[in-house]
Every structure is written in structure tokens, then in C-alpha cells.
A and B are shown apart, each in its own frame.
Chain A
Amino acid sequence: MTVAVSIKNLQKRYGNTEAVKNVSFSVNSGEIFGLLGPNGAGKTTTIRCLTTLAKPDAGEIMISGISAIANPRLARQKIGYVAQEVALDKMLTGREMLQLQADLYHLKPKFAQPRIEQLINALGLQEYADNKTGTYSGGIRKRLDLAAGLLHQPEVLVLDEPSVGLDIESRFIFWDFLRELKKAGTTVLITSHYLEEIDALADRLAIIDQGIIISEGSPNELKDKIGGDRITLRIREFTSENEANNAKNLLVSLPFVTEVIINKAQGNSLNLVVTQGNNLSKIETSLTSLNLPIFSMSQSRPSLDDVYLAATGRTLIDAELAAAGSRDLKAEKKQQMK
């Protein structure tokens, strides 16, 4: 299997902020690779280095064997880039935007024309192509941007948070399209802070947290690595702390339970880590002995969020909230302005 993108020991700081401390991962040719992490983890900075928009302080970036640092122009030809914030010229029509893009990538007109039509059709943009992009909804803008990124038949398509600002329907359409692209042989690198997006799409993924890659593998590999099953238990719809504590004390003593966490944000529901197997009936029996009812209970394999939790000690949502408080949006905007 050939490697399409290889990033080694990437570092990038902006002023006093170490946006990327140490990032290494590699993307195999023809796969969909996900870079998963909360906002502010360093995903966009990594992508900015990969797409040659930012110069890394240290590290190595290879795209199909070409160094993006030593040879940025050649690297740019290999990449199709769909940025997080779609920057379109609102005075141009979709078709004119694509034409501009084709010229920026030096496509010959006799190739560009049919290619533009092809992508307009493939992305269902026929009825919008001749309207000004200023009239587009978020989903249409994103589709046009995707068409623009694919015009020159890039070896690697890079999408930064493609689902942000997309309605659910457009999101599924987008996902299907990316799977089609993969079938056709394009390598796709996608960043996201949506677990389900990476879980649904990615053949392999890397989890990034605070500028460092904390694990890399296929979703199943990563889930198997942390092992066990997860049980979510609600005694009542809103359980009192007292009852939750009583239940916890009882449940930790069961031999197949390795960990119990009370989730205050979810009405004091209980999150259990258990060994694999059918454990629900045993839990039910134990709770009956304490005269505790069950509002809901479900057992599942670990999710990517559990993988993230195991590696960082917090859930992705908690990390999101923590990051939201400490982000300097102004400074981030500045980093993006070249």
C-alpha cells in the first residue's frame, strides 16, 4: 500500500501558542482518513501546513513523495482543498467560480469545460450554476467548493470540517459523495470534531488533542484496544445524587464492572465500563435488591468518544466546552489572514 500523505513531527506555533506540538500520521493511498479532535486541538493548523498556507516550524510533510515544505508548488498540484469557511466571490456565478479555479490550476480549456459540466452534474448544481454565489445556501456553497477542489483531479482531497454549518440532509449527501470519490480512487483526508462523521466515513483515523496525536488506527482497532463494553444506565429520568451514589457503590462491587462514572450533565445517569458479554440482567437483579427502578439501560461497544475519553480523561464534548472558553477567535482570524 502506498502512502499518499505522510506527516512527521510537525510543529507550529503562533506567538506564544503552540498550535501543533507534535503531529505525525500517514494516510494510505485510496483511503478516507479522519483527523478527529475537539475545536482548538490543532486540526486546522495541521491542514494549513499541509496545504502550504502556513510554514511549519519543524517537521516533515510529504504528499505522494513530494515535500510540501521544499516544493510547495508541486505539492499544491496534488491537493484539492475544501476549507472550513467557504470563501466564494459573491459577485461571480458558480460556473464562473469554477472557471476561475480551472485557470488557477492551469487546466486546458478543452479539458476544463467538460470537467466543469461533469462536476456541476455530479454535485447536483445544475440549477444553481448560473446564479451568483451570493445567493447560495450553506449546503450549495459547500458543494460548489467541493467541485472547485476536485476540478484538477487531485490525488488527495483535503476537507477541513466539511460538516460545520451543513444541514443534516446535505451532510449525508456529502458523505455519500465522498464514499463515491474513494471508490474512484481519490485519497480523502477529512478533519472533524463530529465523532459520528469520522466513525461513518473513515477507514482509519488519528485523534488529536492539544496539538498532539494521541492514537492512530481504524475505528475498530481503536475501540478494541480500549476493550470492554459500555453500559449507560438511568435509574430515573432525573436521578437524585443520593440514589446515583447508592447505585454506584453497589455496581462497582460486581465482578464484571471495571468502572462507574456518574454523569451529572445527563441527569445523574451512570456510565459503566464492563467486560464483554450479556450483563444487563445481572445489573437489573442487583438494582432490584436495593429497590431501585430502571428508567433505561443499554449496552454497547465502546465508541470513538470512549477512545477519546480513555486517552485524555475527558469526553470530546467536555474538551469542546473547555476549549470554547479559552479560545481567542480574534487571534485565530489573524492566523488565517495571509
Chain B
Amino acid sequence: MTQIIAPEKVNLTFAPNQSDNFKSGVMAEFSQETLAMTKRLFIQLQRRPSTLIAGIIQPFMWLVLFGALFYNAPKGLFGNELNYAQFLAPGIIIFTAFSGALNAGLPVMFDREFGFLNRLLVAPLSTRYSIVAASTIYIIALTFIQTAVIVIASAFLGAGWPSLAGLGAIALIVFLIVLAVTALSLGLAFALPGHIELIAVIFVTNLPLLFASTALAPLNFMAGWLQIIASLNPLTYAIEPIRYLYLHSDWSINSVVMETPWGEFSFGNVLLILLAFAALILLTIQPLLKKRFA
């Protein structure tokens, strides 16, 4: 290795008063740093697309396998004139978004472990929340790609299409649940000691929350105690309105989209509940992030 550094009399100087080389203003700085960190995550995805590919194959397999599992279920079991593909699609959409968001903390955890996070922390970021913002933007974009693929695949598997407004509403619901769960995962990524612990939490949360929701079976199939748990599960509040959208072309903010042991919920109600859930988690992780970022 005879690499000669030839300082071609480049300007290595610290030249004072060159502030015009820097952007100024909190918004300009925030968007520059957030965009740069988001771009990094997308470059990683582009060069290492296995997570995205697996993230699309897995829900697709859920659709096909669960669809086949209940293929010969008596007609009308899941509701009048409803085939299981139609029933299943909303469950898989939310479950996929949920799983993806739950994993959001992993890259941040690895950045912590490999010391890359320190590179971000010694930089004069306008706010360190831009690190969280970049991860959130990335995961939301990724989930939207996955959701779009599942919606298309479900349509071919017999679930049909929701209306255009319905698709918009699905996007909103997916956004809210992803925002909440991503925040939770990022909070854990800063709170837990290492990736082993984070993966353990992901493991014990992921599938149990799927089975304790109405993703695979309606409430009235379940044991009484599970009905209560499923009616408390935020995933249920995301799945049921989407299921309603798949089955009803005429819907409004006042349509009753789900029934629980403690009453009926309208479309507007569930949106508020999801919003409250996201707000609650965002507030909960504040002290965790503050402690790390102080």
C-alpha cells in the first residue's frame, strides 16, 4: 500500500467567518438532516432489499395459507356473502404494517451497538428527534409499499377492491397504527440494553397480538376472555374499520364498524382511539428519548 497523500495545497484551513457555507434556520437544518438520514435508510434498502422482499412474501403467504386453511369453511360462517379472502385481507394488512413497525427499532439498535449513532450525536443536529423522524418516515414508506402489494394481491385472491375513498381511509388507518408502533419500537431501541432484548420483545409481542385480535377470526368465534382482550387490542381497532371498508361501498364517519362487549364503535370513534393510542405512545417515549439525547 504505497498510497501517497498529495496535499495539492487544498484548503485544509479552518477559515473563520465562513458561516455562509452553512444553512441556517431550524426548519432548513431539520429538513436537511432528516432527509439525509432517511436517504441513508433507503440506500441501504436498495442495496440490501431482502427485508422488503421478505416483508412482501410473508403477508402474501399468510394470505394464501390462511385462505386455504379455511377454504372449505361453511358458507356464511364469517358473515353473510363473505368469503374468507375478504375477511382475511384487512387482518393481514394491519398485521403486516404492525410487524414492520415493530421492527423499526432494530436498525437504530444496531447503530447504537456499532457506534454509528455516536456519529449522529456528535453532529450539531438541530434536534436529535430528527433521528427518530427519519426512521419513522422510512418505516411508513416501507409499510405503504407492503400494504399496496397486499391490497393488490388480495384483490386477485377474491377480496375485491375498496372504493378510492376507502383506500385513502385504509392509508390513514395504516399510518396511525404504524406511527404508534414505530414510536414504541424506537423507544424500546433506546431503552433496552441490546438487540437480543429487542428481538425478544418483538418475538413475544408479534404473534400473540395477531391471535388476540380479529385478524384471523371474528370476535364471536372466541372464548369470552379472549373477546375482552381482542376488544382491547389496538390492532382490532385498525382491522375492523378496514374490514368494513372492504364490505361496504357506502360508509361514513358515523357508520358503526365494530361491536365489542362494551358497545358499538363508529368509524369516527375508532379513528379517535387510534389517534389517542399513537399520542399516548409518543408521550410515553418522550422521557426515554430525553434521557438518551440529553
Contact = CB atoms under 8 A, between A and B. Distances in A.
Interface string A82-112: 0101011101100010011101111110010
A185 interface: yes
Contacts of B6: 121, 124
Interface stretch (B32-40, B157-165, B235-243): B32-40
B120 interface: yes
Contacts of B117: 337-338
B14 A89 contact: no
A89 B40 contact: yes
Contact of B124 (A76, A108, A155): A76
Contact of B5 (A106, A148, A150, A176): A176
A96 B44 CA distance: 11
A169 interface: yes
Contact of B116 (A89, A155, A173): A89
A111 B21 contact: yes
B22 interface: yes
Contacts of A106: 22-24, 28-29, 32-33, 124, 126
Interface string B144-163: 00000000000000000000
Nearest to B11: A118
Nearest to A181: B12
A73 B126 CA distance: 8
A108 B122 contact: no
B80 interface: no
Nearest to A126: B3
A323 interface: no
B13 interface: yes
A123 B5 contact: yes
Contacts of B116: 87-89
Contacts of A85: 115
B197 interface: no
B121 A338 contact: yes
Interface string B34-76: 0111011001100110000000000000000000000000000
Given A100-B36, A103-B32, A81 B13 contact: no
A30 B78 CA distance: 77
Contacts of B22: 105-108, 111, 152
Nearest to B19: A77
A292 to B, nearest CB: 46
A148 B119 CA distance: 10
B118 A173 contact: no
A180 interface: yes
B198 to A, nearest CB: 13
Nearest to B2: A169
Interface in A290-311: none
B10 interface: yes
A170 B1 contact: yes
Interface centre among B10, B24, B35 (most CB of A within 10 A): B10
Contacts of A51: 122
A233 B22 CA distance: 60
26 contacts: A53-B121, A83-B115, A83-B119, A87-B114, A87-B119, A88-B116, A89-B116, A91-B44, A91-B48, A92-B43, A92-B44, A101-B123, A104-B33, A105-B123, A106-B32, A108-B23, A118-B11, A119-B10, A123-B5, A124-B5, A173-B4, A177-B7, A185-B13, A336-B115, A337-B112, A337-B113
Report the 5 A-B pairs with minimum CB-CB distance, sorted nearest first.
A103-B36, A87-B115, A104-B123, A76-B124, A111-B21
Interface of A: 51-53, 55, 73-74, 76-77, 79, 81, 83, 85, 87-89, 91-92, 96, 99-101, 103-108, 111, 118-119, 121-124, 132, 137, 139, 148, 150, 152-155, 167, 169-170, 173, 176-177, 180-181, 184-186, 334, 336-338
Given A52-B121, A92-B43, A107-B21, 14 more contacts: A73-B125, A87-B114, A87-B115, A87-B116, A88-B116, A100-B39, A108-B20, A118-B10, A119-B10, A124-B5, A132-B47, A139-B1, A173-B3, A338-B118
